Amino acid sequence: MSIEFLVASAIAALTAAGIYLALRGRTFPVVLGLAMLSYAINLFLFAIGRLTVNHPPLYEKGVTDYADPLPQALVLTAIVISFAMTALAVVLSLRSFLETGTDQVDGIIEADPPHPDPEAAP
């Protein structure tokens, strides 16, 4: 099995899990889903720069194979942005929970299921 297949499978798994969690009805899975999507995007950007091992990141005289530094710089920037986005989403979801008393994404409080009367005989 090649390394490209493993990286593509990891990207697909992170994307699928991120989309599934982002479509949930509670805020915590939505935040986790957004984080997983950002990890998948970071891995995809990193894989764009060719998966090379033991090659210099910059072009040097006499070197024929080198790693592209642009995807590495994009991934570093994306990591900072995704961390800030996750922190903002956590603060907004916490504020929403404190305001509404529920962690539902749409803010609608689910009704509690009726409790059986302990005094009633079956």
Report the pLDDT value the prediction gives residue 34, as an integer from 0 to 100.
92
Mention every residue, 6+ apart, whose C-beta is less than 8 A from residue 14: 36, 37, 39, 40, 43
Q: Domain total for the chain?
A: 1
Mean pLDDT, residues 47-59: 71
The answer to whether residue 36 is domain-embedded is yes
Let me know if residue 117 belongs to a domain: no
Q: Judge contact between 60 and 66, C-beta under 8 A.
A: yes
Does the residue 119 lie in any domain? no
Whether the per-residue pLDDT at 28 is higher than 80: the answer is yes
Which band of pLDDT confidence, cut at 50, 70 and 90, is reported for residue 84?
A: very high
Contact partners, residue 64, CB within 8 Å, separation at least 6: none
> Is 77 within the bounds of a domain?
yes
Beta bridge partners of 26: 104
Task: Pick from 59-68, 90-99, 102-111 the range whose average pLDDT is largest.
Answer: 90-99
Domain span including residue 12: 3-53+65-100
pLDDT of residue 115: 56
In a domain, 116, yes or no: no
Report yes or no on 88 lying in a domain: yes
Look at the pTM and tell me if it is higher than 0.85. Answer: no
> How distant, in Å, are the alpha carbons of 30, 46, 50, 70, 95 from that of 63?
45, 21, 16, 18, 54
- Mean pLDDT (the chain, rounded): 82
Flag whether 85 is in a domain: yes
State mean pLDDT over 82-95: 92
